[in-house]
């Protein structure tokens, strides 16, 4: 059975943080869908690239999700945090033990929902103070239970590979890393 992942995109998301996850998961044969939180599928990244998502939030049924992912970037993270239907979905999914992941500024969204309370977590350096209740870490990727956080653009490949490993195991991680000529530390 294929794993199903949804990554949520808002105008101003960090290109590399979002699309690296999508690219590497698709290489791993994970069914990852890009989801616009707007009424339209058209999203403009933080660096002015306009793209189309696979789905809009309103048209999607997330009951088949194995993982929900939030990329960072500004003002994308701000828009994700302000979008109440996404906050409600994340809260319900997390409460049921679902895997949630966020990179760069986006771990602050998880913190605002109380997911990082008494958990180890990381974020973009200027966002670390926004990890209320968390044990702050400087590691590139932190996995604590069903929550994964990462620092930013420079850790995007490690973040994506960690998510792949959680869903498909280390053998698949090694295969994907080798296929893109990425040296794991």
Residues marked active site are found at 104
For residues 173, 176, 178 and 180, what is the CA-based torsion angle, rounded to 10 degrees? -140
Helix (H), strand (E) counts: the chain: 6, 11
- Cβ distance 174 to 161 under 8 Å? no
Helix segments in 28-102, DSSP class H: 76-82, 84-95
């Amino acid at each position: 059975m294929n794993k199903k992942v949804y990554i949520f995109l808002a105008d101003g998301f960090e290109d590399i943080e979002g699309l690296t996850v999508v690219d590497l998961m698709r290489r791993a044969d994970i069914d990852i869908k890009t989801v616009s939180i707007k009424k339209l599928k058209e999203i403009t990244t933080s660096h002015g690239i306009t793209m189309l998502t696979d789905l809009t939030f309103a048209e999607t049924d997330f009951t088949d999700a194995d993982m929900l992912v939030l990329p960072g970037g500004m003002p994308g993270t701000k828009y994700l945090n302000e979008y109440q239907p996404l906050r409600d979905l994340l809260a319900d999914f997390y409460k049921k033990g679902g895997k949630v992941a966020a990179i760069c500024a986006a771990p602050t969204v998880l913190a605002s929902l109380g997911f990082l309370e008494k958990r180890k977590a990381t974020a973009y350096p200027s966002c670390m103070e926004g990890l209320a209740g968390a044990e702050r870490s400087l590691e590139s990727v932190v996995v604590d239970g069903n929550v994964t956080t990462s620092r930013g653009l420079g850790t995007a490949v490690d973040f994506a590979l960690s998510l792949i490993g959680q869903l498909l195991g280390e053998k698949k991680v090694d295969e994907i890393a080798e296929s893109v000529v990425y040296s794991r530390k």
